[in-house]
Structure 1
């Protein structure tokens, strides 16, 4: 990283001026502003300056943003839109940096001695870096010291940021673990309390169970004794009842044997009588069969005769029926002929009556009227003859 002679001289002049100003600033800067009468005024002035700068950046960002919106509505030139986008991003970045500086300034107290000591340390560091860079520019026309210092500061700052992040994460983790520990402690205490209560409850139940078991043992023992006595008594009564039942069954068996013998003798006697009746009824059956067979033969012969007589009568009936039918047909023909003649006579009479009426109305035949002229002449002639 080298510079030509003119640039190196210019840079060296600027750095020398900066080193002198920093040296003078270190000599005139007090160790602390606390206790000074104009300290509050200095703080207010600085805050007003920061607020004014913040307002200017906000107004600038608003104006650039409104110009961008107007341009989006009015034009479609990509180059202008790109430039406007860059201006918006630049204004936004400046506003973000200013906001960061403003918030950091509000968090810090400029009147504290620690801040002044830090400012002195930063000034001394910057003065030494600029002095080393000035010497390097004068000797070699390079600024390697400045570049290495900036790189080292960036690395140190990055390490410091990592350390801060790790510390914050560690604190958060410690807080979480402490909270978890408190929760676990409360949970365990509650669990121990519940278990103690459960143990006390179980002890009470154990005492109750022991007392209950003793009482139940005594009760069961007495119940068993009573049950044994009752069972023995029931067995005695059952044995007595069974003996009585055995005697009763023996008497019943003897009675049944006697009844059975009597029934057998009665059945044998009744069997003999029934055999006689069977023989009687068999003979009677055969005789009745013969009689009924004779009656059947007689009825069959009578049936044959009746059938022959029926056939003869049927033949005669058919002949008579044919004669009756023929007679009815002749009578029907005569009746129809008489009716036809009566109808014809009636029709002819009506026709003659109609014709006479027509002749009378029309004056046909003997019913015709004479003319008037002829009658007058005849009258005159008659008068003359008189």
Structure 2
């Protein structure tokens, strides 16, 4: 069954309430669903794509559009419907068939391009940005009916292949992942919420791409408007530059006049400065003599303070020696008393350690017994879980064979 039909079928199931059907009768959804004509489910370029958009993204939905995933209505519509176990098993089988087809295509598609040396040469010689730009330029050319001109469309075809191949491979892998997750969800929960979220994300992506295209068109219009404004501004700037050049010539004349005045003033300032320097030198010499006398006076005071300092130092040294002798005697007495107290503490510590070791042995024995009992309990629980799993597998096999 084609994956496109399966996606549309699951969307239809989402719009109808869940019902229970007899075991022998087929589901009305399967009976009323449209059948696609026989043939390969994918086109030659992989995943049935034309350009860069997949076939299932370009076909209109058969059961009405899904709301966007943003508002409260979307949360109500995306609430998964609970399927019956029989429908869940059938749909999981269909999903598994689709994943097998996608896996086969994943092995076929790279082999189909291995012999195409022209595609590898185009991909290796041009980066992706240049390929996209070249494709846009070739697509904008007017169509030609000339037989010789039609041969120039071959590079465009090679560029399209080189650009579309990574997107086709990534789209195939993404579809395969979504189908695998949906199959697991159907088998475990009986819902297909994962598939609905994937469809919602794809719609959001398409809306985002349309928004980007609209913004690009608006940007082009804005660029044209800005280019026109730029030409107007350039004309205004040329006129302003001409006016400024005239102003510069006028200011140069003014500068020459200011230079002449400045030279005259500098000569006057130089003479005035020399006179002021001579006067300052006289005042500095008088201040220097006063400072020399002050230095001599301070030297005499310093010598006197040094003598007083030596006398004080000798007195304090004698006092410190007396104090040091007193404190050494006190230190020896205190040390002896503390040593006796330390010995008493060591003896009490040894007794406490012996009692602690005995207590630790008793606790270890009790803990070992508790660990052994806990392991036995876990082993019994594990065996019970394995037995339940075997019974569930047998029930699943019986139900599958009955189908």
TM normalised by structure 1 equals: 0.30
TM normalised by structure 2 equals: 0.29
Q: Mark the structure with the bigger radius of gyration.
A: 1
